[in-house]
Amino acid sequence: MPVPTYLPDIPRQRLPREAYVSESWLELENRDLFGKSWTFAGVTTDFPNAGDFRTVQAGNQSLIVVRDGEGQLHSHHNICRHRGTELLEGCGNVGKTIVCPYHNWVYNLDGALRGVPAQRECFPDLDKNKSALFGASVGVFRDLVFVHPDPTPDQSFEDWLGGLDQVPWPHDLTSSEMRENPDDVVYEIKCNWKVFFENAIDGYHLAYLHKETLGGPRHDKNLWETFGRHMIWWSTEREGVKHRIPQFVENSAKGSGLKAVNNAVEPGYGGVYMIFPATIVTPNPWGFSISTMQPVDANTMRLRVRNWSPKGWFTYTHRAADIPGYDAETGLIKSSKWTQHPLETGDFQTEDVWVCEKMQRAMQSPRFETGHLAKGAGGEAAIDFFQQVVLEYLSTSETNSTAGDLHRGRSS
């Protein structure tokens, strides 16, 4: 099905229950959605020096991003061309070459095969020119680095951005003003990744679930707008102004001592950028965060959050251990470690985790179904849009025969 270009007037649920609980459905998403779209891999400051690398998972494909000696970023599949061994783990610096830990095959940072131990004796007919690392694509937007498993994607990175580059963006992560919080903040959430995504774009729940933490805004005082496959959220509580934060949050921050980011005080930029398929960018007057969703299985996901703010007390005092549910043994944030009810924590993210896990538990019932969705760009129309984009990637004949009718779902 073609990608939609606007939010629907009368939204409806398009994905069946199986899309949220079925492992076979997730397998198709890993192959046909995550494996065929652009995935967030890091920020340019993660690669300051030649040899700096990060690995990233795009569905069931592991990719490497590495900076070479000329300052250029490259992306390769994390697979040795000899026996297919995974080459690198995590992040770090490889120096001038990538060396397979199994048999010491050596690759240049641009992916070219450089050396093979005992090549003359063991591989007399090997053509090194045909044994370079499998290539992937890399693109940079506002210092955010994205990768695509295909070296020649059907859609260029520029086209995929869908106009995001035309939206004001005052935060400069390369500025000496900004400091990244040193903690690795990772939530383990007992829900399907799409449940969490759909919660994040549900404008209807803001005034109810988050009435004590975000204070709304109501469905008629916030809106989502589409940019290609992506969406941006604004508060419209101030007459004639699209704002990046709810009025309640702005009022609550007064007198808090939070240090503002240069050039980010005035409105004009969005408050939430949902970059399809699984990245949430949240800029605000006092900082910047990037959250990425990674499916673990059909009923579990991990949310990794990176935060930046101006150098000050907030950068070093807002630690992972302060977040409700922090598990010191694993370093993960889990609902099983909550010591008080989520609605008593004063933390909107905890509220979201709580309700998403409640949704996932309800979906285990074969009687589960979705009724009407709230109309409007500040209601639940964005959920319909998101589901249409998911179906765009999965609407192949093979998918239909494997996962059932993709257009089956409960709509009223």
Can you give the pLDDT at residue 410? 43
Which of 76, 52, 73 is CA-nearest to residue 64?
A: 76
121-150 tens-digit pLDDT: 999 999 999 999 999 999 999 999 999 999
CA gap 351, 362 in Å, rounded = 17
Can you give the pLDDT at residue 346? 95
CA gap 41, 58 in Å, rounded = 9
Can you give the pLDDT at residue 255? 77
Q: Are strands 332-334 and 185-189 parallel, antiparallel or unpaired?
A: parallel
Can you give the pLDDT at residue 84? 97
CA gap 81, 130 in Å, rounded = 10
Can you give the pLDDT at residue 317? 60
Element (DSSP H or E) covering residue 334 = strand 332-334
Can you give the pLDDT at residue 58? 96
287-319 tens-digit pLDDT: 999 999 999 999 999 999 999 999 875 555 668
Can you give the pLDDT at residue 258? 84
Which letter does DSSP use for residue 229 in this model?
A: T
Can you give the pLDDT at residue 240? 84
Can you give the pLDDT at residue 15? 97
Is 270:234 a contact under the CB 8 Å cutoff? yes
Can you give the pLDDT at residue 254? 86
Mean pLDDT of the chain: 93
Is 222:233 a contact under the CB 8 Å cutoff? yes
- Helices marked H in 124-259 — which ranges? 157-161, 193-200, 247-253
Spans in the chain with pLDDT lower than 50: 397-399, 401-404, 406, 409-412
pTM listed for this prediction: 0.92
- What are the backbone dihedrals phi and psi of residue 40, each rounded to the nearest 5 degrees, phi first? -65, 130
